[in-house]
């Protein structure tokens, strides 16, 4: 595609005002390594710098969304902790969280560890009926490293988040929907179409309004009710005052 270089570990394409980023290491269930870190950082940057992009769909090719960190890299570093630190050196997740465009995770198969956390960083998540979620890091002597301890309680509540983080237990798609991690569950064959339909609905909205709404809703977790209402009022007035 013109203006965006090809990537070794993912595919990037535009469908009108929607950017689609597909993780593309299906032979290892889209495990996340240093090369994917660099590619994803660049692809998200390309989407953010493109004024035409108003929504982004993050998905995975092959049988899974992502199984998190590539354990094969653990053997090339002094410890799993060092291996993970190398993979996370660039702030890919901050870039994903702060994109101008609304973000949708389209999840199928396994979304494990960092894979689950990638989905949690997106604004919305559409899951296929074969999706399975888990955060197994505790069993490896680590804590989630892609913001899961922060995004999970914001979506599922502290008690459920502690249960999932401490036990590492699995959730199927319907359980994830009930827990608030997923907003829609569809048949596997309909996942791509459902995610794109939702994205195209979002791109019809005023981008400034979308950004203001995302900021207001996210602020609800960090502000007092009084401060949150004041933020909502400021954002609404700013939209009204635009030329």
Q: How far is Cα 114 from Cα 151, in angstroms, rounded to an integer?
A: 12
Categorize the per-residue pLDDT at 1 as very low, low, confident or very high, splitting at 50, 70 and 90.
very low
- The three-state secondary structure class of 186 is strand
Is 209 among the residues known to form the active site? no
Q: What pLDDT shows up at residue 126? A: 98
Spatial contact of 212 and 64, defined as CB atoms under 8 Å apart: no
pTM of the model: 0.89
Among the listed residues 73, 137, 192, 232, the single catalytic one is 137
Residue-wise pLDDT tens digits, 2-18? 456 689 999 999 999 99
Of the candidates 6, 11, 43, the one whose C-alpha atom is nearest the C-alpha of residue 192 is 11
Is 232 among the residues known to form the active site? no
Among the listed residues 27, 52, 73, 117, the single catalytic one is 117
Categorize the per-residue pLDDT at 146 as very low, low, confident or very high, splitting at 50, 70 and 90.
confident
Q: What pLDDT shows up at residue 129? A: 98
DSSP string, 131-159: -EEE--GGGGT---SSSHHHHHHHHH-HH
- Phi then psi for residue 195, to 5 deg, are -65, -40
Q: How far is Cα 219 from Cα 212, in angstroms, rounded to an integer?
A: 11
């Amino acid at each position: 595609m013109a203006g965006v270089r090809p990537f070794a570990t993912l595919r990037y394409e535009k469908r009108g005002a929607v950017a689609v980023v597909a993780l593309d290491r299906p032979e290892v269930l889209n495990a996340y390594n240093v090369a994917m870190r660099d590619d994803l950082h660049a692809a998200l940057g390309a989407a953010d710098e493109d004024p035409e992009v108003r929504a982004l769909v993050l998905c995975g090719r092959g049988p899974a969304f992502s199984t998190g960190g590539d354990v094969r890299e653990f053997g090339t570093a002094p410890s799993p902790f060092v291996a993970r630190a190398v993979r996370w050196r660039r702030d890919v997740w901050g870039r994903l969280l702060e994109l101008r465009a609304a973000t949708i995770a389209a999840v199928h198969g396994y979304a494990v560890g960092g894979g689950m956390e990638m989905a949690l960083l997106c604004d919305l998540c559409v899951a296929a009926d074969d999706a399975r979620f888990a955060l197994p890091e505790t069993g490896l002597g680590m804590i989630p490293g892609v913001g899961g301890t922060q995004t999970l309680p914001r979506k599922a509540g502290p008690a459920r988040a502690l249960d999932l983080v401490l036990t590492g237990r699995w959730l199927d798609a319907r359980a994830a929907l009930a827990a608030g991690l997923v907003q829609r569950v569809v048949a596997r064959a309909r996942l791509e179409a459902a995610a794109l339909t939702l994205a195209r609905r979002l791109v019809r909205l005023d981008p400034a309004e979308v950004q203001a709404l995302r900021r207001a809703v996210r602020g609800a977790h960090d502000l007092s009710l009084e401060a949150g209402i004041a933020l909502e009022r400021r954002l609404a007035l700013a939209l009204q005052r635009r030329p």
